[in-house]
Structure 1
Amino acid sequence: MSVAIHVDKVVKKYEDHTVINGLSLTIKPGELFTLLGPSGCGKTTLLRMIIGFNSIEGGTIKIDEQVINSIPVNKRKMGMVFQNYAIFPHMTVSENIAFGLKAQNANKKDMQSRINEMMKVVRIEDHHAKKPEKLSGGQQQRVALARALVINPNVLLMDEPLSNLDAKLRVEMRNAIKEIQQKVGITTVYVTHDQEEALAISDRIAVMNKGVIQQIGKPEDIYLRPNNLFVSQFIGTSNVIKGVIEKNQDGCFVVFNDGYREKMENLSDTVGDGHHVLASVRPQEFIVTSDTNALAGVVDKTIFLGINTHYFVTLKTGETVEVVQNIEDHALIPEGTAVNIKVKPKLINLFDEVSEMTLIKAGE
């Protein structure tokens, strides 16, 4: 039976420095929930508060309805996978996986059955007698995962588990972790600073910055409709262009600094005429066009990446933007070429210039 995790107004202080101040969130039973943010944002601190490695100076953490603030680490029924794997070099794969079961005084018959089962789940049964030095990085990570899961924890915690792997192995292992997590059905809290990893693996993501949750949502919602400019720029690549809102009898328009305008039909009712905005436009949300009602600029740099070509365009306003075009739709544009580019108004995001909060109507 999967459990829920309720974090209610928790506080973490180190001497006179407050890392987390009144943070709240709820993790649903059985979901893979990712804490995503830059280094030092508090995500690992929160993870360590959940498992009990860090003290809690305020608020409560509950597993279902049980407050766990004062419960010792070894009584919380949680498994953890660390960034450096933390597997024992002098033990075989089987012995590493058995470590937690021995600490629980499991009987030998049940223990061996459970070890065999878990090795099959993480697909390392052929390596049961090997020492870690004979294993690849991905195989070592599977051992660490099996060791965390073999004790039948209520919660699995993972702290930057793929950061020591090369790019190809990271993709392979993130797919494996998602598959294993779904198969086991365990509530999982996953920490990473890698946006692509978070988007690929998560049921929901909490984006953090400076100890504060900026947004919680499904990967597609956070990517397409970020709550604020920080989330927009942290999740994927985003160009930021200044503009102003113009309202007249024909509707609501965003007007960019060189006079190019686009009608917006998804803005909040609070947005008024003359409102200064920041437009967040992802590279693929630009269109190269012959239309003169567009942003005018010059291609400074062209990078061909197979199916897509990335262009770095300096606009007449002096702003530089990245534009991605499908090579099947457009011939390669040489560097130094003057171009006109438009935005896709239904996809772009507008933020208040001062507060940097979204101006897009909820649900649009």
Structure 2
Amino acid sequence: MSVAIHIDKVVKKYEDHTVINGLSLTIKPGELFTLLGPSGCGKTTLLRMIIGFNSIEGGAIKVDDQVINTIPVNKRKMGMVFQNYAIFPHMTVEENIAFGLKAQNVDKKNMQSRINEMMKVVRIEDHHAKKPDKLSGGQQQRVALARALVINPKVLLMDEPLSNLDAKLRVEMRNAIKEIQQEVGITTVYVTHDQEEALAISDRIAVMNKGIIQQIGKPENIYLRPNNLFVAQFIGTSNVVKGIVEKHQDGNYVVFNDGYREKLNNLVDTVKVGQQVLASVRPQEFVVTTDTSAIAGVVDKTMFLGINTHYFITLTSGEKVEVVQNIEDHAIIPEGTAVHLKVKPKLINVFDAASEMTLIKAGE
């Protein structure tokens, strides 16, 4: 049966430096929960606190209702998959998977049955007698995953497990990990700095920065409606364009440079006339238009990538933006061409310029 993980106001200090200060979150039973953020944000530190490699200077971590702060690593019933696989080079695939079972003194009959079952789950049964140096990176990661799961842990922890693989293998393995995790049904905490990987694999994501959780939510919610400017810029590509709020009888508007304005029906009621804002506009949320009242700019660089063409444009304000257009809808625009841009008002996000927090109504 899957377990929940409750992290309550945990603190991690190194001498006079506090990495995590009062962080709280709950991971639901059976979900694949991803800690996402830049290097040094505290995500791996938190993962190591959960498994017991790092001490806890404050707060509590519970698995269901049991506080595990002082429980030794080998008693926590958790499996870990590391960035560098950490499989033994002198052992075969089968021997590597058996390692944890031997430590648990599992009898030979049950051991072999569980090894065989797990090799089938991760699809490496045809390689059972091979040494790691005869395996691809993806196959080695499958061995590491099998070794972590074969001991029937309550929780599976994964620390940047795909970072050493090439791009094609990363996509293949992230799909395999998601499929295996769903099949086994184990509560999983997954650490990565790769936004696309997190979006593809996660049930929920916690975006971290400087030891603080910026936002927790489903991948689509975090991507479409980030809580603040940091999340908007960290998750995918986002242009930031300055604007000012106007209020008229028919609603709220954001005015961009050149006087171009768009009505936004989803701004919070507390916005004020003249409030300075930052609009986060993803490249596909710009529209190239013949309307000369729109934002003016010049195409600096054109990059054709098959279905889409990417344009790197300098606006008259000096702001630089990236615009993506579908090749079916537009002929390729030559470099040096003057263009005008509109935004898709229902899709863009707007943040207060001072606090950098969202000004979009919750749920819209």
TM-score (norm 2): 1.00
Determine whether 1:83 maps to 2:83. Answer: yes
Render the CA deviation track for 1:62-87: whole Å, top value 9, x for unaligned: 00000000100000000000000000
- The match for 2:204 is 204
1:56 to partner: Cα distance: 0.2
- The match for 1:40 is 40
Q: After the TM superposition, which residues 35-74 of structure 1 pair with which residues of structure 2 at under 5 Å, given as runs?
A: 35-74=35-74
- The match for 2:230 is 230
1:273 to partner: Cα distance: 0.8
Q: How many residues align?
A: 364
Checking the alignment, whether the CA contact within 8 Å between 2:9 and 2:21 is kept in structure 1 is: yes
Determine whether 1:271 maps to 2:264. Answer: no
Q: Which runs of 5 or more residues in structure 1 are unaligned?
A: none
Q: Find the aligned partners of 2:294 and 2:8 in 1 and give their Cα distance.
A: 48
Q: Find the aligned partners of 1:304 and 1:205 in 2 and give their Cα distance.
A: 32
Q: After the TM superposition, which residues 237-276 of structure 1 pair with which residues of structure 2 at under 5 Å, given as runs?
A: 237-276=237-276
SS of residue matched to 2:21: strand
- The match for 2:221 is 221
1:293 to partner: Cα distance: 2.5
- The match for 1:178 is 178
TM-score (norm 1): 1.00
1:334 to partner: Cα distance: 0.5
Q: Which runs of 5 or more residues in structure 2 are unaligned?
A: none
- The match for 1:344 is 344
- The match for 1:135 is 135
Q: CA RMSD in A?
A: 0.4
Render the CA deviation track for 1:309-355: whole Å, top value 9, x for unaligned: 00001111111100000001111100011111100000000000000
Q: Find the aligned partners of 1:294 and 1:101 in 2 and give their Cα distance.
A: 66
Amino acid corresponding to residue 166 of structure 1 in structure 2: D
Q: Find the aligned partners of 2:288 and 2:41 in 1 and give their Cα distance.
A: 38
Checking the alignment, whether the CA contact within 8 Å between 1:295 and 1:315 is kept in structure 2 is: yes
1:257 to partner: Cα distance: 2.2
Q: Find the aligned partners of 2:30 and 2:293 in 1 and give their Cα distance.
A: 50
Q: Find the aligned partners of 1:267 and 1:65 in 2 and give their Cα distance.
A: 41
- The match for 2:28 is 28
Render the CA deviation track for 1:236-274: whole Å, top value 9, x for unaligned: 000000000000223210001221100010000111111
Checking the alignment, whether the CA contact within 8 Å between 1:9 and 1:23 is kept in structure 2 is: yes
SS of residue matched to 2:258: coil
Q: Find the aligned partners of 2:128 and 2:253 in 1 and give their Cα distance.
A: 64
SS of residue matched to 2:259: coil
Checking the alignment, whether the CA contact within 8 Å between 2:207 and 2:213 is kept in structure 1 is: yes
1:292 to partner: Cα distance: 2.0
SS of residue matched to 2:2: coil
Percent same amino acid among aligned pairs? Answer: 88
Checking the alignment, whether the CA contact within 8 Å between 1:205 and 1:216 is kept in structure 2 is: yes
Checking the alignment, whether the CA contact within 8 Å between 2:295 and 2:315 is kept in structure 1 is: yes
Runs of 4 or more above 2 Å deviation: none
Q: Find the aligned partners of 1:345 and 1:22 in 2 and give their Cα distance.
A: 37
SS of residue matched to 1:245: strand
Q: Find the aligned partners of 1:248 and 1:126 in 2 and give their Cα distance.
A: 69
Q: After the TM superposition, which residues 73-152 of structure 1 pair with which residues of structure 2 at under 5 Å, given as runs?
A: 73-152=73-152
